[in-house]
Chain A
Amino acid sequence: MCETTEQEQQWIRDALDGDDQAYYDLIQSYHSTVERFARQIGVRDEDIQDVTQEVFIKVYRFLHKYSRGKFSTWLYSVTLNVAKDFFRKQKREKRKVQKTIQEKPVTFYEENLDLSDDARILHETIQSMDEKYRVPIVLFYFHEASIKEISSIMGMRESTVKTRLKRGKERLKDCLEGGGLVYESKAF
């Protein structure tokens, strides 16, 4: 996970002073990371634009409250909360229309990825994992987040993060050896 650069600090300061170009530059710098993280924690392809937009709307509204710490840590935290709220809303809407509309199959990256057997098993296992294991695994292995940063993003103790990472990794290894045992996912 990258440090907040001097340039980013400047964008934040300028955006707070009302410089729209500075906020645009901040979006430009981070939107792919937000999008990637949202996908990896389970946001569907068709919802990815809405979630990414919502993240930057929230960041803009609360930018004046961001004062210290890594900007990226805060951004991941906002993304996680937006995704959770999005899943919840989606779940409620799904209940309302359950009788009339056939649920679309959930897709995450599948159409865009050309994976080896092992990588496919890992990908599918991560996507079917309970979110309490999935989020730390994604942050640790795909976003270079430290244990401390994950604990800050998820709002939990470092010892809990370590335990979840360890168990998550064990499950992934088990699945890899077992040739793709799929765990049932638990909604946010």
Chain B
Amino acid sequence: MNQKRFDKGMDELKNKYNETPSETSASTIFKSVQNDKRYRERRKSFFSKYGGVAAAMIGVIFIIGILFNSVMSGFHMGSSDSNEAASDDAGYHYNDDSGDGRSAEEGSPTSEHDVLSGSDDTSNNSNEELDYDDNADYDAPFEDRFYPGEREDMLIKEVDTGGRLERVIYELYWNEELQFSTYINPTFDLSISGNIGTGSVKIFMSENSWLWVSRLNSTDIDGFVEDYYSELIARGFEEMETGPQFDTVERYSRWAHSEDGVFLDFAVLRDGDSIYYMEAQQPVVAENPLFEDALETFVNELVFE
């Protein structure tokens, strides 16, 4: 009797729902799709016009920075220790936590994440983002580490840099700690730091542009996103309407901090019993199609082994 009554009520409800006339029209929706398309094309063309200038300026600043560092390191010659070898910024570097409390993650802008992820490590208060550990195996290339999957070593893409197609060769990157693989653009000033056991890795694409991947032992994406967004708002970020196109994740959004002049891209996905979240930051002035594509490629090509 109970089941019959339930079925009858649900059937009636379904019919009423289906009979309700639609309030949306295909032509209005189509118009909004076209408007969005045109907006994206205009945005792309804007960056093709001015993105090159911004990139050139950043390049100049970067070269000046390198020259300045070279001059400064000359003053310290003869008194340096093994840290000097670690300051070589070419190639891939991995900073294992040697246990002496001087890991590369100290002081990185991730203390908020420690709070979110429930970490009780309160020693992260230094600002030495790239302070490499003496005992870390900096020269161990990622290619030599055991990669269990079967993926091509390279991914070749043609990136539209604003009316001009640029060929970009991405290299396979395998993260042993978090057990994921993806592709990264090796032409960036790439340094990788991470701590064994923390479930996180940070990839610097330049001094001010980085990408952070972290794992949480939870499946409550909604709860995490809610907390995370509140945290960003508290830090002064505002959510933006546009951003990179991540299509393999459950949520993503772009945020901007007007005072700091940075964009922050956030993406989160679930794999098994864990949540992986990515946070990428770049100065607003540095926004360029190559970085955008590098971010999209990194996230969209993520495979957990």
Which parts of A23-76 form the interface with B (CB within 8 Å)?
A: 23-24, 27-28, 31-32, 35-36, 39-40, 45, 48-49, 52-53, 56-57, 60-62, 65
| CB–CB A23/B24 < 8 A | no
- The yes or no answer to A1 lying at the interface (CB within 8 A) is no
A residues less than 8 Å from B14 (CB atoms): 141-142
Q: Beyond A49-B23, A49-B24, A113-B20, is A27–B29 a contact (Cβ under 8 Å)?
A: yes
A28 touches B26 (CB 8 A): yes
Name the residue of chain A whose CB is nearest to the CB of B219: A156
Is the CB of A155 closer than 8 A to any CB of chain B?
Answer: yes
Contacting A at CB under 8 A, from B221-280, are 222, 225-226, 229, 233, 239, 245, 247-248, 250-251, 253, 270
Q: What are the interface flags for B1-27 relative to A under an 8 Å C-beta threshold, 1 for contact and 0 otherwise?
A: 011011011101110111011111111
The answer to whether B26 and A119 touch across the interface, beta carbons within 8 angstroms, is no
Residue of A109, A118, A177 with most partner-chain B CB within 10 A: A118
Q: Is B58 interfacial (CB 8 A cutoff)?
A: no
Please tell me if the beta carbons of A35 and B13 are within 8 angstroms of each other in the complex: no
Establish whether residues A40 and B17, one from each chain, have CB atoms under 8 Å apart when the complex forms: yes
Contact B23 A188 (CB under 8 A): no
A85 to B28, CA, bound (A): 22
Task: Considering the complex, give the chain B residue whose CB is closest to the CB of A112.
Answer: B20
B36 at the interface (CB under 8 A from A): yes
Q: How far is the CA of A2 from the CA of B239 in the complex (A)?
A: 36
Question: Which residues from 187 to 201 on chain B have a C-beta closer than 8 Å to any C-beta of chain A?
Answer: none
Q: B residues within 8 A CB of A45?
A: 23
With known contacts A27-B26, A31-B26, A176–B9 Cβ distance under 8 A:
yes
Q: With A31-B26, A177-B2 given, is the CB distance from A36 to B36 under 8 Å?
A: no
Count of B interface residues, CB-CB < 8 Å: 43
Number of interface residues of A (CB under 8 A): 48
Q: Is the CB of A116 within 8 A of B9?
A: yes
B residues in contact with A173, CB < 8 Å: 2-3, 6
Which secondary structure characterizes the binding site on chain A? helix
Cβ of B64 within 8 Å of any chain A Cβ, yes or no, is no
A148 at the interface (CB under 8 A from B): no
| B251 pairs with A85, CB closer than 8 A | yes
Say yes or no: B247 contacts A62, CB within 8 Å: yes
**A88 / chain B contacts, CB cutoff of 8 Å:** 225-226, 229
Tell which of B16, B33, B225, B253 touches A60, judged by Cβ atoms closer than 8 Å: B33
Interface membership of A81, Cβ < 8 A: yes
Complex-state Cα separation, A113 to B37, whole angstroms: 37
> B154-213: which residues lie under 8 A (CB-CB) from chain A?
none
B110: Cβ under 8 A from any A Cβ:
no
Give chain B nearest CB distance to A136 CB in angstroms.
14
| Complex interface: chain A residues within 8 A of B33 (CB) | 23, 27, 53, 56-57, 60
Q: Which residues of A contact B233 (CB under 8 A)?
A: 92
Q: Tell me whether B222 and A84 are in contact (CB under 8 A).
A: yes
Given contact pairs A81-B250, A92-B233, a sample of 5 additional A-B residue pairs in the complex whose CB atoms are under 8 Å apart: A56-B29, A109-B17, A119-B9, A121-B9, A155-B270
Supply 13 A–B pairs (Cβ within 8 Å), ascending by A: A31-B26, A31-B29, A40-B17, A52-B24, A52-B29, A53-B29, A57-B32, A113-B20, A114-B16, A116-B12, A121-B9, A122-B6, A122-B9
Residues of A near any B CB (own CB < 8 A): 20, 23-24, 27-28, 31-32, 35-36, 39-40, 45, 48-49, 52-53, 56-57, 60-62, 65, 81, 84-85, 88-89, 92, 109, 112-116, 118-119, 121-123, 141-142, 155, 169, 172-173, 176-177, 188
